[in-house]
Structure 1
Amino acid sequence: MNFQALQRRVARRERLLDARIDRVHGAAASLKRTWRSAWTPGRIVITGLVAGFVAGRAEPMRYAAQSGDLMRMVSMLSSVFASAAAGEAAEAARESAASPPDEGATEAPRSQASRTPAQREPTA
């Protein structure tokens, strides 16, 4: 093959490429127009609801798959809060044991709501 034949071949391929690029740009513009006209407000709302539902279902599943660290952290925090509550209860028990008992304080008064109807004080 001589040099002029190769040049003609390259020029022909460049023209074909330019024509195909123009066709792709035209198809892309047509797709863009069609895509924009298809998005009506109702479709946007429905798509948002579906996407929110899918994200709401997928997000917990993703965390459940990676729950090793998460569950360890939750367990650690719950044990911290439980030990703090137990410490406060122990301190309150120590204080009540150290204070002298009051006379008549042996039975805690029951609230009006916890009494039976016969035990309730009349309201006049």
Structure 2
Amino acid sequence: MKFGALQRRVKRCEQVMAVRLGETQDHWNVLSQVWRQGWSPLRIVVVGLAGGFIAGKLEVPGKVNGARWLQMVGSVSSLFASAQAAFASVVAAQAAETADDAADQVDEAAGPPSAAAARPAARPVAEPELREPRPAEAATEMSER
């Protein structure tokens, strides 16, 4: 296969992947919204009671005690938290990439800078320069209030 054909193939695969990633994020957003809306207070109570009943019936004395159940619940909750963090990092990476692409498009659309734009703009003398207060200044202001 020729190099140009390989480049077109890779570009096409990247486009397909970008579309699929967008679809996956859309589906994930819909799923998370429906999941949150589905958990009404009544359903939470019913699931808690049913889970407690099942845990009480399945518990074999001495083998599965309350500490084991708490450990399992903690493990599952950390699993969900890490999955949410991974998804958030993927979304953040895509947002950063989109911002980079937009910045590149703006730079391309702007073209080469003109002579007037190359000159630095004169700052007005009457306005003081706004800056963040240093930590000591901020602490003093806070303590005086």
- Relative to the length of structure 1, the TM-score reads 0.48
Give the structure with higher Rg (CA): 1
- Relative to the length of structure 2, the TM-score reads 0.42
Whose relative contact order is higher, 1 or 2, with alpha carbons under 8 Å and at least 6 apart?
Answer: 1
